[in-house]
Structure 1
C-alpha cells in the first residue's frame, strides 16, 4: 500500500511550495517597484502598512485563528456540518468589524496621515487601502476553515492567485503609463494590493460555495454545540487573540512611525529618512524574510495539529513536535546567517543597486536563527491555548525595539535600530523556549 504523508508534513510542503512561488514573484515585484518608484516611494508605500496591520488585527486575526481551531475540533469529532457553522459564525464576526473599520479608515485617512503618520502624501493610499479590509477578512476566514480541515490546497492557491493578480494589475498599469509617458507612484502599488485581495476573496468564495455538503452529523446533532454556544466559545477565543494582536500592531505602528522621525533627529532630512526606511523595510528585509516561507507554512499547519494533540492528551506527540520544530528551524536560520554574511553586500548591490541595502542585509543576518524559530514557537503556544504567554513574550520584544528606536537611533542612526532588532529577537526566543521547556525535556 502506498504510504501517505502525515497531514502536517504534506500541508507544510504544499504551503511551502505555494509560498515559495509567491515570495519569488513578490521578491522580483519589490525589485521592480524599487526601480519604478524609488527608495523614497517605497518608504511612503511602506508607511501605510502599520495602519493596515492594526485594521487586520482588529477585524480578522482573532476570527481566523478561532475558525481554524474550532473547525479542527468539530471536524475531528465527526461533525463536519458543525464545522461549516463555525465558518459562518467566523465570517459574521469578521465582516461585522471589517466593514465599519473600512468606512472609518476611509473617512479619517486625512487625519491619520497628518497626525499619526506625519506624511500627507499617504492620504490617498490609506483611502484606497481601506477597500482591502472586508476582502481580506472574508478570504482569511475561509482560509482558516481549510486550515482547520488540514486541506491547505485552497489557501495555497488563493495566496498564489492574490500575488499574481496584484503583480499583473500593477504591471498592466505600468505598461499603460509608459505608453502615455507617465511614471508609477506609490498609489499604483496600493491599487494592486486591493485588486489582489479582491481576486483572492472571489477565489475563496468560489471554492467554498462549490464544495458539496459534507456528510456526517448535523450541526444540531449529538454533541454539537448550539449556534449561541458556538458563537460564545469562538468569541471567548477570538477576543483575547484580537486584543493581543491589536496591542502588538499598535506598538508596531508606533515603532514604524517613530523610526523615520528619530532618523530625522539623528540629522537626516525627511527625504533621506524615508529613503533609509524604505531601503530597510522594502528591500533588505525582503531577503531576510524570504526563507521564512518555510517556517511560515509550518506555523500555519502547527496550530491545528497541536490543538488536536492537546485535546487527545497526547503529550508525547506534543514533545516530538516541539523538538522537531527547534531542530528544523535553528539549522535553517544558522545556514541563512552564514549565507547572508558571505553574500549580503553582493545581493543588495546586484538586485537593488543599493550599497545601503547590502549593509543592512549583512547586519540583519544575525537575527535569522531567532526570527525563524520564533514564528513556529509562537504558533505552538497559540495551538496550546497559551495566547497570553505568546502575547507577553512578543510584547517584551517589541518594547525592546521601541526603546532602541527612542534611545539609540537619535544618537547612532539606523544602526541603533538594527541592534534593537537583534536584542529583541534573541530575548523573545529565550522566553518562548522557556515557556515550552516541559516539552523539550520529555
Structure 2
C-alpha cells in the first residue's frame, strides 16, 4: 500500500506480489534483466507452458480411442475405472505443491538467496517423497480391497501397476515448482510433453505385446496403466538433466542440516499446500464416483463382473469428446483469471463486468452448439471412433455435459479471478454427492443411460452454481431475452442441418447382422456433419448479430478482407 513502510512477513507474501527473477540459460538464476525483456520472457514462458498443457491434454484425451479399438470395451472399462483413482491419489500426494514450491522459491530468488531456494526444493522433495511413498503403499497393498469396493476385482493388477508412478511424480512435481519459481517454464513444458509421449508409447507397446501373447483383460489393462509409470520416469529424467545442466551456475544449499529450521519450513509448505490440495481433488472425486458406483450397481442389476466392466467401457465412449470440448474451453479461458483479477484490483467495475460478461457469453456460444452437435452426431462418432453403435444413447446424453462443463469452467475462472478459489471446488463436491445419489437411483433401472443422465444432473448443479455465483460476483446481469436466444436460434439452425445430414445418411450407416461396421461411411458423415454444422452455426451467429462487427474488429488477428467480404454478403451487422 502507498506510504506503508512496514515489512510484510515472509510467510505472508503472495507469489504474485514478489517479482520473479530472470533465469540464466542454464536454468539457474541469472543476472538482472531490463523490465521489458523480463516481462516478455515471462509472457513467452507462460505461453509455452500453456501450449505444452494443451498438447499434453490432447494426447492424454485422444489416446483412449485407439486403446478401446485395440483392447476392447472390457479393458477400456477397467482402465477408466482405475485411472480416476490414480488421479485422485496423485492429487492428494502432490497437488498444490508445485505452486507452493514456486511461491517460496520466487521469494528467495527475489532476495537473491539462491541457497535458500535450493533448500526449499530439498525440503519439499522430502515431504512429497514421504506422501508419495505412503500413497504408493496404500494403493499397492490395498489393490484387491479397492477392486472389491469398485465391484471389479479384475482392476486390482492395474491399480498395483499404476501405483509405482507415485514413487516418481512427487520429486518431479517439486522440481517443476522450483524452475517455475525462477520464471523458467521450459523445463516444466518440455517434461510434460515428454512424459505424455513416453506414457502413450509405453502403453501401446505393452498393449500390443500382451495382445500378441493372448493375455487376459486384467493383464492388458495393467500394461496400459503402467504407461503412467514410464511417463513419470521420463519426465523426472528430463527435469534431472535440466538440474544437472544448471549445476555450475547454481550455488548449492547449506550442507549443514538444521533440522529444526527444515521442519519449520516443511510445516509452512504443508500449510500453504493443504488448501490447494483439498480444492484440487474436487474434479477427480467427481469422476471417481463412477468408478466406485457404476460397475457395482451394474452387477447388482444382473451383469457379471466382465459384463459390468464391458458396459462401463461403453459408458466411457463419450468422455474423450466431452473432455476435448472442455480442454478447448480451458485453453480459451487461460488468460481470464489474470485479466479479471487485474480489473478487480483496479476497482474498475465497468471493465470487470465487460470482461466477465464476454467470457461467460463466449462459453455459452461455444458450449451450446458443441453439446448439440455431439449429441446429434453420437451415432456416426461412435462408429467412427469405436467401431460400434453400442452405447450410442448414453453417448448422446453424456454429450450434454459438454455445455455444462464449459459453463462450469468459465464460471470457475471468473470466480478464481475474483479471489473466490474455494467456491468452485465446493460446487464440484456437491455435484459429486448428486452423482452418487443419481447413480444409485438410475443405474439399476436404466443401466449406463441412467449413469449418463446422472452426469447431466451433477454437472448441471456444478455449472449452474458456478455460473450464478460468477454473474452475481462480477455484477453481470444474467443473459436473457434476445441476447441468449440468438445463440439458441443459431444452434437450432445448426441442429436442423445436422438432422438432415444424419437422416439422409442413415442408409449408409445401416449395419446388417454379421456385417462389419461401415466405419468409412460413419467417418465421412461425422466429419462432414461437423464441417456443415460449424458453417451453418457461424453464418447464423453472424447474420443474427450474436457477434458484431465491432467485436470482430477488436480481434487483432482478424484481417480486414474477411470483414469486408462478410459485409458485402450482408452476413455481418
TM range (shorter): 0.7 to 0.9
Structure-2 separation of matches of 1:104 and 1:78: 40
Pair 1:275-2:314 in alignment: no
- Give the direction of change, closer, same or farther, for the CA distance of 1:248–1:27 in structure 2 (3 Å limit): closer
Q: How much does 1:275 deviate?
A: 1.2
| Alpha-carbon displacement from aligned partner over 1:296-333 (angstroms, at most 9, x marks no partner) | 44677766x479859x9444487666445434433332
Q: Which moved more, 1:168-177 or 1:346-355?
A: 168-177
Select 1:370's aligned residue among 404, 418, 425. 404
Q: What's the RMSD between the two structures over aligned residues?
A: 4.0
Select 2:288's aligned residue among 234, 245, 253. 253
Q: Which moved more, 1:401-410 or 1:375-384?
A: 375-384
Select 1:290's aligned residue among 324, 344, 368. 324
The residue aligned with 2:465 is 431
The residue aligned with 1:46 is 80
Structure-1 separation of matches of 2:378 and 2:178: 39
The structure, 1 or 2, with the larger RCO (C-alpha pairs under 8 Å, 6+ apart) is 1
Q: Unaligned stretches of 5+ in structure 1? A: 220-225
What TM-score do the two structures reach when normalised by structure 1?
Answer: 0.80
| Alpha-carbon displacement from aligned partner over 1:332-387 (angstroms, at most 9, x marks no partner) | 32242243134222111111112135433322222212212423544565566544
The residue aligned with 2:269 is 234
- Give the direction of change, closer, same or farther, for the CA distance of 1:431–1:315 in structure 2 (3 Å limit): farther
Structure-1 separation of matches of 2:233 and 2:288: 25
| Alpha-carbon displacement from aligned partner over 1:37-74 (angstroms, at most 9, x marks no partner) | 21011111222224313321321113234335555676
Alignment of 1:263-412 (within 5 A): 263-281=298-316, 283-297=317-331, 305=338, 309=342, 313-316=345-348, 322-323=356-357, 325-378=359-412, 381=415, 386-412=420-446
Alignment of 1:5-404 (within 5 A): 14-15=48-49, 17-27=51-61, 29-68=63-102, 70=104, 81=114, 86-114=120-148, 116-146=149-179, 151-174=184-207, 176=209, 185-211=220-246, 231-245=266-280, 249=284, 252-281=287-316, 283-297=317-331, 305=338, 309=342, 313-316=345-348, 322-323=356-357, 325-378=359-412, 381=415, 386-404=420-438
- Give the direction of change, closer, same or farther, for the CA distance of 1:35–1:148 in structure 2 (3 Å limit): same
Q: How much does 1:195 deviate?
A: 0.5
| Equivalent pair of 1:306/1:380 in contact (CA under 8 Å) | no
What is the count of residue pairs matched by the alignment?
A: 429
SS in 2 for 1:238: helix
Q: How much does 1:287 deviate?
A: 1.2
The residue aligned with 2:555 is none
Choose between structure 1 and 2: higher helix proportion: 1
| Equivalent pair of 2:81/2:291 in contact (CA under 8 Å) | yes
Structure-2 separation of matches of 1:313 and 1:26: 36
| Alpha-carbon displacement from aligned partner over 1:383-431 (angstroms, at most 9, x marks no partner) | 6654432332111111111110011221222222222222222221232
Q: Unaligned stretches of 5+ in structure 2? A: 1-35, 255-260, 478-573
| Equivalent pair of 2:198/2:230 in contact (CA under 8 Å) | yes
- Give the direction of change, closer, same or farther, for the CA distance of 1:426–1:177 in structure 2 (3 Å limit): closer
- Give the direction of change, closer, same or farther, for the CA distance of 1:326–1:248 in structure 2 (3 Å limit): closer
Structure-1 separation of matches of 2:152 and 2:374: 33
| Equivalent pair of 2:378/2:395 in contact (CA under 8 Å) | yes
Q: Please tell me whether Structure 1 or Structure 2 has the larger radius of gyration of its CA atoms.
A: 2
Q: How much does 1:84 deviate?
A: 5.6
| Equivalent pair of 1:378/1:432 in contact (CA under 8 Å) | yes
The residue aligned with 1:222 is none
- Give the direction of change, closer, same or farther, for the CA distance of 1:250–1:338 in structure 2 (3 Å limit): closer
- Give the direction of change, closer, same or farther, for the CA distance of 1:327–1:198 in structure 2 (3 Å limit): farther
Structure-1 separation of matches of 2:342 and 2:262: 26
Structure-1 separation of matches of 2:112 and 2:352: 24
Structure-1 separation of matches of 2:161 and 2:98: 24
| Alpha-carbon displacement from aligned partner over 1:150-185 (angstroms, at most 9, x marks no partner) | 654333322221121122223333555577676871
What TM-score do the two structures reach when normalised by structure 2?
Answer: 0.64
| Equivalent pair of 1:58/1:242 in contact (CA under 8 Å) | yes
SS in 2 for 1:291: helix
| Equivalent pair of 2:81/2:290 in contact (CA under 8 Å) | no
SS in 2 for 1:355: coil
